[in-house]
Chain A
Amino acid sequence: ENSPAPLPERAIYGFALFLGSSFGFMLYLIWAYVPETWLFSLGLTYWPQKYWAVALPAYLLVAIGIGYILLFGINMMSTAPLNSTHTVTDNYAKKQQQKKFQEEAIPALRDIPISEVNRMFFLPEK
Protein backbone atom coordinates (compact mmCIF):
# COMPACT_ATOMS: atom_id res chain seq x y z
CA GLU A 1 0.00 0.00 0.00
CA ASN A 2 0.94 3.66 -0.11
CA SER A 3 1.52 4.80 3.45
CA PRO A 4 3.89 7.60 4.42
CA ALA A 5 5.32 5.59 7.34
CA PRO A 6 9.10 5.20 7.66
CA LEU A 7 10.21 1.83 6.24
CA PRO A 8 13.63 0.14 6.15
CA GLU A 9 13.79 0.54 2.35
CA ARG A 10 13.11 4.26 2.63
CA ALA A 11 15.83 4.62 5.26
CA ILE A 12 18.32 2.91 2.94
CA TYR A 13 17.30 5.11 -0.05
CA GLY A 14 17.64 8.18 2.12
CA PHE A 15 21.08 7.22 3.36
CA ALA A 16 22.29 6.36 -0.15
CA LEU A 17 21.02 9.75 -1.41
CA PHE A 18 22.74 11.47 1.53
CA LEU A 19 26.08 9.79 0.79
CA GLY A 20 25.76 10.49 -2.95
CA SER A 21 24.92 14.16 -2.50
CA SER A 22 27.70 14.69 0.08
CA PHE A 23 30.20 13.07 -2.30
CA GLY A 24 28.95 15.23 -5.16
CA PHE A 25 29.27 18.38 -3.08
CA MET A 26 32.84 17.47 -1.96
CA LEU A 27 33.75 16.79 -5.60
CA TYR A 28 32.34 20.18 -6.64
CA LEU A 29 34.30 21.96 -3.88
CA ILE A 30 37.53 20.19 -4.85
CA TRP A 31 37.02 21.02 -8.54
CA ALA A 32 36.26 24.68 -7.78
CA TYR A 33 38.99 25.44 -5.21
CA VAL A 34 41.99 23.13 -5.75
CA PRO A 35 44.46 24.82 -8.16
CA GLU A 36 44.80 23.27 -11.61
CA THR A 37 48.50 22.45 -11.23
CA TRP A 38 47.86 20.25 -8.20
CA LEU A 39 45.12 18.36 -10.10
CA PHE A 40 47.43 17.93 -13.12
CA SER A 41 50.20 16.54 -10.88
CA LEU A 42 47.71 13.93 -9.60
CA GLY A 43 46.99 12.95 -13.21
CA LEU A 44 43.44 14.43 -13.36
CA THR A 45 43.67 16.50 -16.53
CA TYR A 46 40.35 16.04 -18.32
CA TRP A 47 38.05 18.09 -16.07
CA PRO A 48 35.84 20.97 -17.26
CA GLN A 49 37.07 24.55 -17.08
CA LYS A 50 36.77 26.18 -13.66
CA TYR A 51 34.74 28.94 -15.33
CA TRP A 52 31.75 26.61 -15.12
CA ALA A 53 32.06 26.26 -11.34
CA VAL A 54 30.77 29.85 -11.12
CA ALA A 55 28.71 29.95 -14.31
CA LEU A 56 26.43 26.99 -13.57
CA PRO A 57 25.16 28.28 -10.18
CA ALA A 58 24.65 31.71 -11.72
CA TYR A 59 22.65 30.23 -14.61
CA LEU A 60 20.59 28.18 -12.14
CA LEU A 61 19.67 31.16 -9.97
CA VAL A 62 18.70 33.32 -12.95
CA ALA A 63 16.63 30.43 -14.35
CA ILE A 64 14.77 30.12 -11.04
CA GLY A 65 14.07 33.86 -11.01
CA ILE A 66 12.82 33.81 -14.59
CA GLY A 67 10.75 30.74 -13.74
CA TYR A 68 8.58 32.77 -11.36
CA ILE A 69 7.86 35.35 -14.06
CA LEU A 70 7.39 32.65 -16.72
CA LEU A 71 4.88 30.77 -14.58
CA PHE A 72 2.92 33.97 -14.01
CA GLY A 73 2.92 34.65 -17.76
CA ILE A 74 1.89 31.10 -18.68
CA ASN A 75 -1.01 31.35 -16.26
CA MET A 76 -2.15 34.59 -17.81
CA MET A 77 -1.93 33.14 -21.31
CA SER A 78 -3.88 30.01 -20.35
CA THR A 79 -6.79 31.98 -18.91
CA ALA A 80 -9.69 31.82 -21.31
CA PRO A 81 -10.50 35.21 -22.89
CA LEU A 82 -13.87 36.78 -22.12
CA ASN A 83 -15.30 35.87 -25.53
CA SER A 84 -14.55 32.14 -25.44
CA THR A 85 -17.14 29.43 -24.87
CA HIS A 86 -14.82 27.82 -22.29
CA THR A 87 -16.12 30.32 -19.72
CA VAL A 88 -19.61 28.86 -20.13
CA THR A 89 -19.26 25.17 -20.89
CA ASP A 90 -16.77 22.40 -21.67
CA ASN A 91 -16.59 18.94 -23.27
CA TYR A 92 -17.89 17.07 -20.25
CA ALA A 93 -20.90 19.34 -19.87
CA LYS A 94 -21.78 19.06 -23.55
CA LYS A 95 -21.78 15.26 -23.51
CA GLN A 96 -23.55 14.72 -20.19
CA GLN A 97 -26.54 12.41 -20.09
CA GLN A 98 -29.75 13.41 -18.38
CA LYS A 99 -30.89 10.99 -15.71
CA LYS A 100 -34.63 10.45 -15.32
CA PHE A 101 -36.31 12.40 -12.55
CA GLN A 102 -37.44 10.13 -9.68
CA GLU A 103 -39.98 11.18 -7.09
CA GLU A 104 -38.63 11.82 -3.57
CA ALA A 105 -35.04 11.13 -4.63
CA ILE A 106 -32.22 13.67 -4.61
CA PRO A 107 -31.82 14.91 -8.21
CA ALA A 108 -28.76 13.57 -10.02
CA LEU A 109 -25.65 15.72 -10.22
CA ARG A 110 -25.42 17.66 -13.49
CA ASP A 111 -23.99 20.83 -14.97
CA ILE A 112 -26.78 23.43 -14.92
CA PRO A 113 -26.82 25.65 -18.05
CA ILE A 114 -25.89 29.25 -17.44
CA SER A 115 -29.28 30.61 -18.62
CA GLU A 116 -31.04 28.63 -15.91
CA VAL A 117 -28.54 29.76 -13.26
CA ASN A 118 -29.03 33.38 -14.25
CA ARG A 119 -32.80 33.11 -14.08
CA MET A 120 -32.55 31.58 -10.62
CA PHE A 121 -30.21 34.29 -9.31
CA PHE A 122 -31.36 37.48 -10.93
CA LEU A 123 -35.06 37.14 -11.79
CA PRO A 124 -36.97 36.98 -8.50
CA GLU A 125 -39.86 34.52 -8.56
CA LYS A 126 -43.16 36.23 -7.95
Chain B
Amino acid sequence: MAERSYRSAAGAAIALRRRQHSASCRELAVRCPRLQLRSLSAVTSAVWLAAYGLFVLTQNSMVLSAAIFITLIGLIIYLHFVKVDQESLLVIGSLGIQVTSSYASGKESTTFIEMGQVKDVVINEAIHMQKVIYYLCILLQDPGDPQGVSEVVPLFQSSKPRLDCLIEVYKSCQEILEQRKTAPQSS
Protein backbone atom coordinates (compact mmCIF):
# COMPACT_ATOMS: atom_id res chain seq x y z
CA MET B 1 0.00 0.00 0.00
CA ALA B 2 1.62 3.24 -1.11
CA GLU B 3 0.30 6.78 -1.28
CA ARG B 4 1.88 9.47 -3.42
CA SER B 5 0.83 13.04 -3.99
CA TYR B 6 0.35 14.54 -7.43
CA ARG B 7 -1.35 17.57 -8.98
CA SER B 8 -4.67 17.78 -10.76
CA ALA B 9 -5.09 19.48 -14.14
CA ALA B 10 -6.17 22.68 -12.36
CA GLY B 11 -3.23 22.61 -9.94
CA ALA B 12 -4.93 21.26 -6.80
CA ALA B 13 -3.09 18.63 -4.71
CA ILE B 14 -4.40 15.08 -5.09
CA ALA B 15 -3.14 11.76 -3.73
CA LEU B 16 -2.97 8.37 -5.44
CA ARG B 17 -3.16 5.23 -3.31
CA ARG B 18 -2.31 1.84 -4.79
CA ARG B 19 -3.27 -1.45 -3.13
CA GLN B 20 -2.53 -4.88 -4.45
CA HIS B 21 -5.08 -7.35 -3.12
CA SER B 22 -3.78 -10.33 -5.07
CA ALA B 23 -1.83 -11.18 -8.18
CA SER B 24 -4.73 -10.28 -10.45
CA CYS B 25 -6.58 -7.69 -8.36
CA ARG B 26 -5.53 -4.08 -7.84
CA GLU B 27 -7.23 -1.02 -6.41
CA LEU B 28 -6.20 2.50 -7.37
CA ALA B 29 -7.81 5.38 -5.47
CA VAL B 30 -7.40 9.09 -6.15
CA ARG B 31 -8.31 11.39 -3.27
CA CYS B 32 -9.46 14.89 -4.20
CA PRO B 33 -8.67 17.97 -2.07
CA ARG B 34 -11.14 18.58 0.77
CA LEU B 35 -13.58 21.49 0.82
CA GLN B 36 -11.59 24.50 2.01
CA LEU B 37 -12.90 26.46 4.98
CA ARG B 38 -11.83 29.76 3.43
CA SER B 39 -13.77 29.21 0.19
CA LEU B 40 -16.83 28.08 2.14
CA SER B 41 -16.75 31.18 4.37
CA ALA B 42 -16.07 33.43 1.37
CA VAL B 43 -19.16 32.16 -0.50
CA THR B 44 -21.35 32.29 2.63
CA SER B 45 -20.23 35.86 3.46
CA ALA B 46 -20.81 37.00 -0.11
CA VAL B 47 -24.35 35.55 -0.22
CA TRP B 48 -25.24 36.95 3.19
CA LEU B 49 -23.79 40.41 2.45
CA ALA B 50 -25.79 40.53 -0.80
CA ALA B 51 -28.93 39.49 1.11
CA TYR B 52 -28.29 42.18 3.75
CA GLY B 53 -27.84 44.75 0.96
CA LEU B 54 -31.19 43.68 -0.52
CA PHE B 55 -32.77 43.90 2.95
CA VAL B 56 -31.52 47.45 3.41
CA LEU B 57 -33.00 48.37 0.01
CA THR B 58 -36.36 46.64 0.34
CA GLN B 59 -36.79 46.51 4.18
CA ASN B 60 -38.25 43.03 3.75
CA SER B 61 -36.93 40.61 6.37
CA MET B 62 -37.92 37.58 4.29
CA VAL B 63 -34.80 38.24 2.23
CA LEU B 64 -32.57 37.39 5.20
CA SER B 65 -34.39 34.15 6.05
CA ALA B 66 -34.40 33.19 2.37
CA ALA B 67 -30.62 33.77 2.19
CA ILE B 68 -29.99 31.51 5.21
CA PHE B 69 -32.24 28.83 3.72
CA ILE B 70 -30.58 29.04 0.31
CA THR B 71 -27.10 28.80 1.83
CA LEU B 72 -27.98 25.69 3.83
CA ILE B 73 -29.81 23.92 1.01
CA GLY B 74 -27.10 24.88 -1.47
CA LEU B 75 -24.37 23.51 0.77
CA ILE B 76 -26.20 20.20 1.26
CA ILE B 77 -26.84 19.81 -2.47
CA TYR B 78 -23.22 20.67 -3.25
CA LEU B 79 -21.82 18.13 -0.77
CA HIS B 80 -24.20 15.39 -1.86
CA PHE B 81 -24.18 15.73 -5.64
CA VAL B 82 -21.14 17.73 -6.72
CA LYS B 83 -18.18 17.48 -4.34
CA VAL B 84 -16.30 14.23 -4.94
CA ASP B 85 -14.07 13.06 -2.12
CA GLN B 86 -12.44 10.00 -3.66
CA GLU B 87 -12.55 8.18 -6.99
CA SER B 88 -11.31 4.63 -7.12
CA LEU B 89 -10.70 1.98 -9.73
CA LEU B 90 -10.75 -1.72 -8.80
CA VAL B 91 -9.37 -3.99 -11.53
CA ILE B 92 -10.05 -7.71 -11.04
CA GLY B 93 -8.25 -9.73 -13.68
CA SER B 94 -10.83 -12.25 -14.81
CA LEU B 95 -13.94 -10.51 -13.59
CA GLY B 96 -14.09 -6.86 -14.57
CA ILE B 97 -13.46 -3.27 -13.57
CA GLN B 98 -15.34 -1.40 -10.86
CA VAL B 99 -15.39 2.40 -10.76
CA THR B 100 -16.48 4.07 -7.50
CA SER B 101 -17.03 7.75 -6.72
CA SER B 102 -17.45 8.76 -3.07
CA TYR B 103 -19.03 12.12 -2.45
CA ALA B 104 -18.34 14.42 0.48
CA SER B 105 -21.69 13.61 2.12
CA GLY B 106 -20.81 9.90 2.20
CA LYS B 107 -22.75 8.84 -0.89
CA GLU B 108 -21.00 6.28 -3.08
CA SER B 109 -21.85 5.66 -6.69
CA THR B 110 -20.48 2.51 -8.32
CA THR B 111 -20.27 1.21 -11.88
CA PHE B 112 -19.12 -2.27 -12.81
CA ILE B 113 -17.93 -3.23 -16.29
CA GLU B 114 -17.35 -6.92 -16.95
CA MET B 115 -14.07 -8.00 -18.51
CA GLY B 116 -15.74 -9.34 -21.66
CA GLN B 117 -16.81 -5.82 -22.59
CA VAL B 118 -13.48 -4.15 -21.84
CA LYS B 119 -11.29 -3.68 -24.90
CA ASP B 120 -8.52 -1.66 -23.28
CA VAL B 121 -7.70 1.04 -20.74
CA VAL B 122 -5.91 3.94 -22.44
CA ILE B 123 -4.79 7.50 -21.82
CA ASN B 124 -6.62 9.71 -24.31
CA GLU B 125 -6.16 13.40 -25.09
CA ALA B 126 -9.16 15.59 -25.82
CA ILE B 127 -10.21 19.22 -25.88
CA HIS B 128 -12.07 20.19 -22.72
CA MET B 129 -13.12 23.78 -21.96
CA GLN B 130 -10.45 25.56 -24.05
CA LYS B 131 -7.71 23.19 -22.82
CA VAL B 132 -6.29 19.91 -24.04
CA ILE B 133 -6.24 17.41 -21.18
CA TYR B 134 -5.06 13.85 -20.74
CA TYR B 135 -7.61 11.54 -19.19
CA LEU B 136 -7.79 7.84 -18.54
CA CYS B 137 -10.64 5.98 -20.19
CA ILE B 138 -11.95 2.44 -20.66
CA LEU B 139 -12.65 1.44 -24.27
CA LEU B 140 -15.64 -0.87 -24.51
CA GLN B 141 -15.86 -3.47 -27.19
CA ASP B 142 -18.64 -3.85 -29.70
CA PRO B 143 -19.72 -7.52 -29.49
CA GLY B 144 -20.19 -7.73 -33.26
CA ASP B 145 -16.94 -6.03 -34.24
CA PRO B 146 -13.84 -7.09 -32.27
CA GLN B 147 -11.72 -4.29 -33.73
CA GLY B 148 -14.16 -1.45 -33.13
CA VAL B 149 -14.74 0.71 -30.07
CA SER B 150 -18.40 0.94 -29.10
CA GLU B 151 -18.13 3.26 -26.13
CA VAL B 152 -15.60 5.36 -24.22
CA VAL B 153 -15.94 5.59 -20.42
CA PRO B 154 -13.84 8.43 -18.99
CA LEU B 155 -12.41 7.88 -15.49
CA PHE B 156 -11.37 10.27 -12.69
CA GLN B 157 -13.56 13.06 -14.04
CA SER B 158 -13.63 15.15 -10.86
CA SER B 159 -10.02 14.85 -9.77
CA LYS B 160 -8.54 15.12 -13.32
CA PRO B 161 -5.02 13.92 -12.52
CA ARG B 162 -2.11 15.03 -14.67
CA LEU B 163 -0.09 12.82 -16.97
CA ASP B 164 2.42 11.57 -14.37
CA CYS B 165 -0.32 10.16 -12.16
CA LEU B 166 -2.18 8.77 -15.17
CA ILE B 167 0.91 6.91 -16.38
CA GLU B 168 1.18 5.16 -12.99
CA VAL B 169 -2.46 4.11 -13.10
CA TYR B 170 -2.11 3.06 -16.75
CA LYS B 171 0.90 0.82 -16.05
CA SER B 172 -0.87 -0.84 -13.12
CA CYS B 173 -3.96 -1.54 -15.20
CA GLN B 174 -1.98 -2.85 -18.16
CA GLU B 175 -0.15 -5.35 -15.96
CA ILE B 176 -3.49 -6.88 -15.01
CA LEU B 177 -5.01 -6.65 -18.49
CA GLU B 178 -2.05 -8.38 -20.09
CA GLN B 179 -2.73 -11.44 -17.97
CA ARG B 180 -6.01 -12.10 -19.71
CA LYS B 181 -4.26 -12.57 -23.04
CA THR B 182 -1.77 -15.14 -21.68
CA ALA B 183 -4.31 -16.88 -19.43
CA PRO B 184 -6.43 -19.56 -21.12
CA GLN B 185 -9.88 -18.39 -22.23
CA SER B 186 -12.46 -19.84 -19.88
CA SER B 187 -15.67 -18.44 -21.43
Q: A residues bordering B, Cβ < 8 Å?
A: 79-80, 82-85, 87-89, 94, 114-115, 118-119, 122-123
Contacts and interface: CB of A to CB of B under 8 A. Distances in A.
A118 B123 contact: yes
A88 B149 contact: yes
A80 B129 CA distance: 11
A87 B148 CA distance: 13
A85 B167 contact: no
Interface string B115-143: 00001101111111000000101010000
Contacts of B148: 89, 94
A87 B120 contact: no
A89 B139 CA distance: 11
A121 to B, nearest CB: 8
29 contacts: A79-B127, A79-B128, A80-B127, A82-B126, A82-B135, A82-B137, A83-B151, A83-B153, A83-B154, A84-B152, A85-B149, A85-B151, A87-B126, A87-B152, A88-B124, A88-B139, A88-B152, A89-B148, A94-B148, A114-B120, A114-B122, A114-B124, A115-B122, A115-B139, A118-B120, A118-B122, A122-B167, A123-B171, A123-B174
Contacts of B179: none
B170 interface: yes
Nearest first, the 6 closest Cβ-Cβ pairs linking A and B are A115-B120, A87-B126, A82-B154, A118-B122, A114-B122, A79-B127
Interface centre among A80, A84, A115, by most B CB within 10 Å?
A115
Interface string B48-71: 000000000000000000000000
A114 B139 CA distance: 10
A87 B151 contact: no
A88 B119 CA distance: 13
Contacts of A79: 127-128
B5 interface: no
B150 interface: yes
A94 B142 CA distance: 13
